[in-house]
Structure 1
């Protein structure tokens, strides 16, 4: 150590020795039989080593005895206000003797444990100790006149930094004690443990005896103002009105609903329908026209204002063209049960339309008799099958079943004497038109029948379309129950709207399915199954307000089928059995709706289509009248 530091060390050492001696003397006063000299010698040795490393005189250059007191005090305060770095503290502790280091560490741990156990007591004790250490620190600045006994405590041997740190710990402990965190935590724990009080039910107020209730209408209470009650009114039982009442059995007069039946014009109209006959024989033996000539004739067909007219009230559910080659006569069946007859040769066109009501529910099937074209047969959901005779102006009843609903029919015989009728519940009936009222009920393996159609050549076979199955039966093996189909096809994934044989040979079958596909099958060989030939993508989703599409064959062309379309602009399309489109009928300003039901004339190039508002659209060649 340099010689310049000897004098300050001796001066500081003398002060420390005096303080330690005073402390030891004070502590030893209460101890009996103890000598002061051995204790003094031990303490002086320890304190001398502690004072060898002062915190502020390491960089002191001038003689501190020559400096004024105020300057020394200012210098000491400035140095003590700065907190030494951790590295300096560790280095300073490394130079301390083991006894002093152990004493300081023990004091630290004692204060920390005391502050955690009891905030109140520790804060009080630490505050006293801090005051004592502050007095001791001020005594080191050279003020010999102050009372040196105020800084004598058990921590008098600590350095100023340790005393400052203990002071901060005591202040922090006092601050946390003032927050009363333990008390707040205890109160919060008690609040959590307490159960929430149950909601008290609202007590209903007691009704006073003389309390006046709510004012009510005497008219609703049926009480006169005088207080007398009115006589009880007799309630009449509700009369259930049948929405679709059945017409009386037997023949019905052919009475038009839209015109007067007493005028001469209506009688002349009936006479025209009764006199027209089919002038050409069946075209079974004729050769089919080529596809090129067929397309050329279709291109010549057109529609105009005179060939569009509203014929029925409500949606058209069936349509038929009279086979006459001299006059153009169209019959349309409606969902309202009406049958409309339209003679396109009449001008104005309103005079050529007559509407009749032979049924009360939709007319699902309509055919002219193959033997007598003056007879038109109609089948309805109401369970009746009637024949309209224009020569006698009546609708004869051919078959009636009030417990069942009919869906479709066809002629088993070429002369039209025997008919096969399909029911919605999946059963069938054989009907002889020559003896009205006689029929034979037959069972089937189907749960529902939508359409039924007879093979044009081998008339013992007929095809039925149901929910998802197409069955072909042999009429020669029918029995009242347990009839199994000769051929069954399961190619369809959704409900089937129709299935028809090709008109001339019956070698093809076209079906319309709700899965937006038209399918054509090969029925030339009646074996265990009919192979699929072509699948045509076609939109068949008409919704609930439009009549479902039914693809039908052109009677003149064996390999072409006609079907309505949902495409824009509205049209009627014709497809070849190979799947390619042959022709589309556009109406420009005259065909602005969907024609769901269509029919082609058996010998002439005339197409009639009906929509869901009762209108009939007719496409024809210019020379056809």
Structure 2
């Protein structure tokens, strides 16, 4: 803030108005001889006087009185000239003041009162003090610094791409130029996505998809299936051999190049193996509804053929235990029976797209229990005309992935779903309000499968998304089944692989087979105690995950299917 500089003042005759104000505001000078004429005072006695010294306020706070005072004594405002200082008038003698103001009277300001001289002195000293601080120069310098323009930061302009920029280097293959330098012919436009014809309802002829090319080999395959189905397998009593012999049999099973074949086009989602002792016939279903049949013993190209009896993913397949000429396959909308004797795929049951798995309730395979994705289960009788189930029962599941019937007591079945695994009695099923016979608890995430052990059904093995393989004791159906063992196992197959299903070896009551995510790629065999017995692998031949596996009921043969439709057969 700029402050006015003090000027040298000369005494001047005050104006009448100023003189009146000075007389009213200036207290009389104290005198020892002059008596006080105030009321109540005593004549002739000295009066008590109070002297008040007023110190002027800051210049900025009292500009108006200062201006008036300067104007009165010759200091005009801006642009005004100084008035001539008149001759001082003689005044009546006044009482002497104290010694503090004696210096002021000697400077020619004797006509001013002591208060005015003191005030004028303070103003002058303050003006000199502010002038010594050089506030004007500091303010001007600060103003110059504040108004100084800041240097502008200039951004470096981005280089513009040259319009004639050269083409990036690419190989001759990408440029479609032969090594000799001759341009290759232009490629044809890629074909649009294939639209598969919908499979109609009702019976379908058992005609291979590639019938026009290999009709003779397809007929030979079906004839082989029919021939081995007529041969009765040797009835062998199922029993569990000692662990040493079993491990020796596992070690004798190897994988070779001639036992690997792409049977279906897409990811394998279900498999079944024919129970014949003479010929190894494997059926595989994929996610598009195709079913591939492969005669492993036939080394020619015509050993495998593909059929299309379904529109959607094939989730479960079984050869009939009493008549292996029948292959039953389940998709989300239909349950079909492939009868090779009549060369037809019959439609057993139809739904609105909710079937997930099935199993036979009797040895003659006339009735079956079918699980549904909505959580219900259905009873299907193949002898009943029509394609509707006999009964649909709500078991309280959000989702049912697998169902499996007890091998000894056919009235019991185990169902696995989204975190729930329970055993039910099919005789007591009703549309609503079904209660389980036994609950297999402990799963923290969704369960992919649950299966009874093959001979006695005293064990149930489950595969859960919480990376655990669990074995339960189902010897007696208590309210809650006890956990015998829990094995840490990586079951996170992701969206591109079929979820693992642990299946029991039909020849060994206490051992089961499951796929693996370990490297090198392998198929693992565990004991019900949780001990790893054997790993099937061959780094030269097996380089993918086999999510779906099936074991031959009487021979030492294991088949694994991967996500590209390829089957791998380990055998003696």
TM-score normalised over the length of structure 1? 0.63
- Shift of residue 276 of structure 1? 1.0
Alpha carbons of structure 1 residues 166 and 274: separation in structure 2 relative to 1, 3 Å: closer
Please list the CA deviations of residues 288-342 of structure 1 after superposition, one character each: whole Å capped at 9, or x if unmatched: 2222332232223222222222111221110111112222211101111110011
* Equivalent residue in structure 1 for 2:63, among 109, 119, 122: 119
* Equivalent residue in structure 2 for 1:405, among 342, 345, 354: 354
Alpha carbons of structure 1 residues 485 and 170: separation in structure 2 relative to 1, 3 Å: closer
**Bigger Cα Rg:** 1
Q: Could you say which residue in structure 1 is the equivalent of 2:430?
A: 479
- Shift of residue 553 of structure 1? 1.0
Please list the CA deviations of residues 354-381 of structure 1 after superposition, one character each: whole Å capped at 9, or x if unmatched: 0001111111110111112222111111
Measure, in 2, the Cα distance between the counterparts of 1:275 and 1:296: 32
Measure, in 1, the Cα distance between the counterparts of 2:32 and 2:563: 128
Q: Could you say which residue in structure 2 is the equivalent of 1:388?
A: 338
Alpha carbons of structure 1 residues 280 and 127: separation in structure 2 relative to 1, 3 Å: farther
Kindly indicate whether the alpha-carbon contact (under 8 Å) linking 1:123 and 1:170 is maintained by their aligned counterparts in 2. no
Measure, in 2, the Cα distance between the counterparts of 1:565 and 1:546: 11
* Equivalent residue in structure 1 for 2:329, among 375, 378, 382: 378
Correspondence 1:466 to 2:417: yes
- Shift of residue 162 of structure 1? 8.3
* Unaligned ranges ≥5, structure 2: 1-18, 24-29, 34-49, 76-104, 140-193
Q: Could you say which residue in structure 1 is the equivalent of 2:390?
A: 440
Q: Could you say which residue in structure 1 is the equivalent of 2:157?
A: none
SS in 2 for 1:307: strand
* Equivalent residue in structure 1 for 2:508, among 553, 557, 562: 557
Measure, in 2, the Cα distance between the counterparts of 1:452 and 1:520: 16
Measure, in 1, the Cα distance between the counterparts of 2:107 and 2:374: 122
Alpha carbons of structure 1 residues 619 and 551: separation in structure 2 relative to 1, 3 Å: same
Please list the CA deviations of residues 490-534 of structure 1 after superposition, one character each: whole Å capped at 9, or x if unmatched: 322222111100011100001111221111110011232311111
Measure, in 2, the Cα distance between the counterparts of 1:588 and 1:256: 33
* Equivalent residue in structure 2 for 1:495, among 440, 446, 449: 446
Measure, in 2, the Cα distance between the counterparts of 1:112 and 1:607: 110
Measure, in 1, the Cα distance between the counterparts of 2:61 and 2:246: 112
Kindly indicate whether the alpha-carbon contact (under 8 Å) linking 1:274 and 1:374 is maintained by their aligned counterparts in 2. yes
Kindly indicate whether the alpha-carbon contact (under 8 Å) linking 1:521 and 1:530 is maintained by their aligned counterparts in 2. yes
* Unaligned ranges ≥5, structure 1: 1-26, 32-37, 42-101, 132-146, 180-240
Higher helix share: 1
Q: After superposition, where does 1:553-592 map in structure 2 within 5 Å?
A: 553-592=504-543
- Coordinate RMSD, CA, aligned: 3.7
Correspondence 1:247 to 2:197: no
Q: Could you say which residue in structure 2 is the equivalent of 1:337?
A: 289
Kindly indicate whether the alpha-carbon contact (under 8 Å) linking 2:239 and 2:509 is maintained by their aligned counterparts in 1. no
Kindly indicate whether the alpha-carbon contact (under 8 Å) linking 2:349 and 2:380 is maintained by their aligned counterparts in 1. no
- Shift of residue 118 of structure 1? 2.2
Q: Could you say which residue in structure 2 is the equivalent of 1:517?
A: 468
Please list the CA deviations of residues 51-97 of structure 1 after superposition, one character each: whole Å capped at 9, or x if unmatched: xxxxxxxxxxxxxxxxxxxxxxxxxxxxxxxxxxxxxxxxxxxxxxx
Alpha carbons of structure 1 residues 566 and 573: separation in structure 2 relative to 1, 3 Å: same
TM-score normalised over the length of structure 2? 0.69
- Shift of residue 121 of structure 1? 4.8
